[in-house]
Amino acid sequence: MLPADSNAPGGAPGADDPHPIAQLGITGAELESSLTRRVDWQQLVGALPHLVWVARPDGYHEYFNQQWFDYTGLTLAESLGDGWNPPFHPDERPLARRLWDEATLTGEPYEIEYRLRRHDGVYRWMLGRAVPLRDESGTLLKWFGTCTDIEELKVALDDAAELRHELERRATRDSLTGLANRELLFEQMEHKLSQRRRTGMAVVYMDLDWFKEINDRLGHSAGDRLLAFIGERLRDTVRQGDIAARIGGDEFVVVGEAQDHEEAERFAQRVVEGVRGRLSVSGESVEVAASVGVTYVDAADTRSADTVLAHADARMYEEKRRR
């Protein structure tokens, strides 16, 4: 049995009787047992590393342990009833209220993760749980609830999620330019090839002109900055749904929708114009230019991504030899 409220209003029965215990029909052994249970309860909830609370069957919060008051800075009067909700982060208050209402209506256990305001104004993540306590007949007597600090766990999980995202990004993205890498390019091309219905596709294979000379003259760091800059220009040039990838060295591939060969050629020209221009690298003005080969893939074409790329690559080298 949970402890009775020691501050309940009203006088005790038999207050004027020299033997009030006898008037209540309580033996000395029963009184000692009741007091022992109350002491045991207070010791238990005081030793738990949780904020502990007790609510009536209708959801009215009527008890909090000292850890609750120490953490929130609230008084008992401020916490009773629905006073537990205001310290919740504003983003989680409506959900906490709704879940608690559902729990008290259905008698099902309550569980939620939320941020709880500390006495100094800092919010920390908590895991809130409550279970219904019932008698032998199944009647709900009380709700016993706890708030467990999970801030460090949430931070660790967030860090792990960021690390996983970064590893996934590195597995599919070129580390220097942030563009798709070869693996992601093939995956997305195969998907686009399988999803074509009424429109075709332009595949542009691009190789930077004079990159080796720039790299040899200005150094590899300057060459890396040039490649990163090309990545930025390509991201600004492509349309939503297009694919831009660096597949190695100074070679890039851009894929986009096209209705016919002419539109594919215009698409390739836009890519070239997007990267063309002068760039300051290591204090020197560098002229950026590129050679491209473009392949148009119509809706009925059954070639694989590897074959299409090989065709575009061959056309790019044809153009480079003509220069």
Task: Specify the length of the chain in residues.
Answer: 323
Q: Which of 208, 243, 240 has the alpha carbon at shortest distance from 224?
A: 208
Q: Is 204 helix (H, G, I), strand (E, B) or coil?
A: strand
Q: Is 313 a catalytic residue?
A: no
Catalytic residue from among 250, 298, 306, 313: 250
Q: Which residue in this structure is represented by tokens 């895991």?
A: 127
One-letter amino acid at 136 equals E
Distance (Å, whole) CA 264 – CA 312: 12
Q: Is 283 helix (H, G, I), strand (E, B) or coil?
A: coil
Task: Determine the distance from the C-alpha atom of residue 151 to the mean position of all C-alpha atoms in its chain, rounded to a whole number.
Answer: 15
Distance (Å, whole) CA 88 – CA 85: 6
User: Which residues have CB under 8 Å from 19's CB, separation 6+?
Assistant: none
Distance (Å, whole) CA 294 – CA 308: 10
Catalytic positions, written as ranges? 250
